Amino acid sequence: MSVVFARCLGALVMALSLQACSPEVALPNVTLEQARAEHEAGKVVMIDIRESQEHATGVAQGVVLLPMSQVAQRVAEIPKQADQPVLLICNTQNRSRAVTEALQEQGFTNIRYVNGGMSEWAKRGWPMVKPQDLVGPSKP
């Protein structure tokens, strides 16, 4: 794990509050509906980057749990190959968007973030499980 990546990720986290004032950078993203369909069809690895206390409120079945605070240390666990699409999801999309940008700067070309996030997932009443009931991989 590079020091440059860790610093970049830290800077992005701090800059989240300034995002609303900045022009949008076009980053690859998907709708919530598309994310659910691709995830449930097994076409993508979906990584929930919310923190552990947020995971406790419920997660999508089969999602990988990788808190944003651990991404820099565990970046090697994230699939990088182009033929293995990865979706990042957080609570709304702000953190997953920032991490998508940081990972792209590290050469990841297979990463997209999910618009809406788990808050919208929950509002729609879509299936959620507690982390201890998660079936499937809990980390990449």
CA dist., res. 14 & res. 57, Å (int): 25
Instruction: Tell me the residue ranges of DSSP E strands in 1-110.
Output: 29-30, 45-48, 64-65, 86-89
CA dist., res. 29 & res. 116, Å (int): 10
Question: Would you tell me how many other CB atoms lie within 10 Å of the CB of residue 128?
Answer: 15
62-71, 78-87, 101-110, 126-135: least confident range: 126-135
> What's the mean pLDDT in 97-112?
96
> What's the mean pLDDT in 15-30?
61
Q: Pick 140 or 78 by higher pLDDT.
A: 78
- In this prediction, what percent of the chain has a pLDDT beyond 90? 73
Tokens of 81: 């190959």
Structural domains in the chain, sorted by start: 3-133 (3.40.250.10)
Q: How confident is the model at residue 16 (pLDDT cuts 50, 70, 90)?
A: very low
- Report the pLDDT value the prediction gives residue 68, as an integer from 0 to 100: 96
Helix axis angle for 94-105 and 3-15, nearest 10°, is 150
- Regarding pTM above 0.85, the answer is no
